[in-house]
Amino acid sequence: MTERAVLEATELNKRYGDLHAVRGVSFHIDAGETYGLLGPNGAGKTTTIAMVGGLLENDGGQVLIEGEPMTVHTLDPRRKIGLVPQDLAIYPDLTARENLTFFARLYELGGRRLKDRVENVLEVIGLRDRADDRAGEFSGGMKRRLNIGIGLLHEPRLLILDEPTVGVDPQSRNAILESVEALSADGMAVLYTTHYMEEAERLANRVGIIDQGEIKAEGTRRQLVQMVGERDRISITANGPLESVVSDLRALSGVQDVGASDGQITLLVEDASALLALALETVAKNGASVSSVVVEEPDLEAAFLHLTGKALRD
C-alpha cells in the first residue's frame, strides 16, 4: 500500500440468513491500480462491491475511500466512486444523452461542465452518433457501454465494474477492456470483478481469487502462479551442440529445469522475461543457431484450479 489507498476494505462480512456470503474479505487498491476480483458465480463478488459502494449494510468490517469511512448513510465518499452495476441500470425510455444528463445531475454536475462531461463520455463509450436514440433500441453491447459511461461522468477516483462484459459481443468487449486500460493509465483506481480468467490477466495489476465468500489468494499474476508452483516455460528450437547448451543453461540461476528432445530445448524458469536474453546468449555461445523461441507464462487458470479446486468456466 503506497501512501493512502483509494480503497481500503477490511474484514468485510455479510450474512444472508444462514448463508455467510462474504467472510472477512480485505483488500486495498491504489491510484492507477486495477484490482481484479476473480471468482465463479455466487462467490460473493457483487455482495462485496455492494458493501464497498455503500449500498448494503455490512455485518462487520470497514470500508475507507481515501481514508473516509463509507457506510450506507454517508454521502461524501460516494462522489469519489463510479459504480457500474452488474445488471444494466439505465432507463430504456430515455435517450443515451438523457440518461447521462440525469445521472450527472445526481453528482451535482451542472451548466457547461455537465454538457462537457456528457459529450466526453459519449465519445469515450462510442455512442456519440446514437446519443439521441432511446437506450431501449440499443444492442446489448451499446447498452453495456452506456451502463459503464454513467459511472464515468463525475470522474471518480475509484471505478467499480461488476462483470461488465457478461453477454457482450467480442467487439464491444474489446472496446470495454481498452477503455478500462486507458482510464487506469490516467490514474483511476479500478475494481473489476469477473469470472473470466483472460480479463483478469489482461487488466488487473493484482488479482484477488474469491470463492465461497473468501479471498483465497491475492497478488500479481506472477505471484499467484508461483504460489502454486507453476513456472514460465521457454521453448527454444536450435541446431548445434545441444548437450553442452543444456548443461550451461542448467547452471544459470533462476532455472528450475531443462530438457531437450528433437532439437528442442525446454526451460522451466521463475521469470521468463528476466532470463530470456541470457538463455539465448548461452545458446549462441555454444555455437548453436536458434530457429524459434516460444515463451509461455502459465495462466491463472492453473492457479485458480489449484486454489479452489474448481475450473473457471461458465
Partner 1 sequence: MKTIWNIARKDLALRSRDRSIFIIGLVAPLALAFIFNLVFGGSINDVGESVRFEYGLVDLDQGDVALAFGDVMANLESEALISVERFGTEAAGRTAVEDGTVDAIIILPADLTSRITSGEPAKLEVVGNVDSPTGATIASSIAERFSTGLASATDAALTAVATGVVDPTGIAEAAAEAGALPPLATVVDIEAGIRQLDAATFFVAGLSIFFMFFVAGLGVTSMLEERRDGTMTRLIASPIRRSSIIAGKALTSVLIGLVAMITLVITSTLVMGANWGRPLGVLLLIVSAVLAVVALMSFVGGLAKTAEQAGNLQSIVAVTLGMLGGTFVPISDPTSFLGKLRFLTPNAWFLRGLADLSGGSIADTLPAVAVLALIAVVFGAAALSVARRVVTT
Ligand X SMILES: Nc1ncnc2c1ncn2[C@@H]1O[C@H](COP(=O)(O)OP(=O)(O)O)[C@@H](O)[C@H]1O
The helix (run of H) or strand (run of E) holding residue 38 is strand 34-38
Shortest distance, position 50 Cβ to ligand X, whole Å: 8
23 vs 222 by CB, closer to ligand X: 23
| Residue 143 binding: pick among ligand X, Mg ion, partner 1, none (C-beta 5-8 Å cut-off by kind) | none
Whether the CB-CB separation of 8 and 28 falls below 8 Å is answered with yes
Q: Residue 141, SS3?
A: helix
Binds ligand X by CB under 6 A, chosen from 16, 69, 116, 239: 16
Residues 232-261, mask of contacts with Mg ion (x by CB under 5 A): ------------------------------
Q: Identify which range of 60-68, 95-103, 234-242, 248-256 contacts partner 1 by CB under 8 A.
A: 95-103
**Cα distance between residue 208 and residue 224, in whole Å:** 9
Shortest distance, position 265 Cβ to ligand X, whole Å: 43
Binds Mg ion by CB under 5 A, chosen from 34, 46, 95, 99: 46
Whether the CB-CB separation of 24 and 214 falls below 8 Å is answered with yes
| Residue that is written with C-alpha cell 551442440 in the block | 241
Q: How far from chain centre, in Å, is Cα 252?
A: 34
Pairing relationship of beta strands 68-69 and 232-239 according to DSSP bridges: unpaired
Residues 34-53, mask of contacts with ligand X (x by CB under 6 A): -----x-xxxxxxx------
The helix (run of H) or strand (run of E) holding residue 232 is strand 232-239
Whether the CB-CB separation of 209 and 216 falls below 8 Å is answered with yes
From the list 154, 178, 152, 166, the residue with the least C-alpha distance to 84 is: 152
84 vs 122 by CB, closer to ligand X: 84
| Residue 16 binding: pick among Mg ion, ligand X, partner 1, none (C-beta 5-8 Å cut-off by kind) | ligand X
**Cα distance between residue 163 and residue 143, in whole Å:** 14
**Residue 106 interacting with partner 1 (CB under 8 A):** yes
19 vs 251 by CB, closer to Mg ion: 19
Pairing relationship of beta strands 81-84 and 68-69 according to DSSP bridges: unpaired
Give residues in contact with partner 1 (CB under 8 A): 50, 53-56, 75-76, 78-79, 81, 83, 85, 87-91, 93-94, 98, 102-103, 105-108, 150
Give residues in contact with Mg ion (CB under 5 A): 45-46, 86
Give residues in contact with ligand X (CB under 6 A): 16, 19, 21, 39, 41-47
